[in-house]
Amino acid sequence: MQARQERDFGGDMAQDIEKIEKVMCAAPVIPVLIVEDPKKAVPMAEALVRGGLPAIEITLRTAHALEAINAVNEHVEGAIVGAGTVLDGKQYDAAVSAGARFIVSPGATANLLDAADQHSVPLLPGAATASEVMFLLERGYERLKFFPAEQAGGASYLKSLSSPLAAAKFCPTGGVSLDKAPDYLKLPNVLCVGGSWIADAKAIAADDWSGIEARAKAAAALKI
């Protein structure tokens, strides 16, 4: 009984690698999105899925992010919608309730990892240093977000972590563009990249679904 209580209420649980890898390996790029108008979420996500990018991260940076996540989860066939910029347990709970199928955070705290233990929806926590990666490996997290990728040292820095921290595989995010993505995707410790260039705020505001689809197709064609 005690073991069950530890499992249900913050015990030492590991990341569900199989679940998070399905997200990370769905395509070379996970679009990272800021959605101001929830009515635009469905056509935006449909354009991304048509372009070959099913895994979609909607960040919790706007008042309507949860509504957008719910709309995509309910109405866009083939989409794997997740919540980004999740910082605490309350946001984790809200994102899961909205229909998020994966959770992304720019970093990791003990409290956030404890919150993740309460859910079957997997967490992709962020790390930028060897010590942060080691902390997450100790907690059973081997699939991580490298953030902020370019500002933290870029592809050459991330490559230097591949030998001493071989168990960790990453989704570099932050300053990654179509031109820079191949430098990351060729690394042995990278499964995908995250990028905001595919559907930026200007394109979403302009209802440029054809442009978003075209950029999604270009991103989906990148080699892993």
Note if 223 is an active site residue.
Answer: no
User: Which residues have C-beta within 8 Å of that of residue 203, sequence separation ≥ 6?
Assistant: 211, 212
CA 52 to CA 74: how far, in whole Å? 19
Contact status, residue 195 vs residue 29, Cβ threshold 8 Å = yes
Note if 57 is an active site residue.
Answer: yes
CA 62 to CA 122: how far, in whole Å? 22
Residue 44: phi and psi, rounded to 5, are -65, -50
The three-class DSSP label of residue 29 is strand
Determine which one of 40, 46, 57, 180 is catalytic. Answer: 57
CA 35 to CA 44: how far, in whole Å? 9
Determine which one of 40, 46, 142, 145 is catalytic. Answer: 145
CA 26 to CA 56: how far, in whole Å? 10
The C-alpha angle with vertex 128 and arms to 125 and 131, in degrees rounded to 5, equals 95
Q: Which residue numbers are catalytic?
A: 57, 145
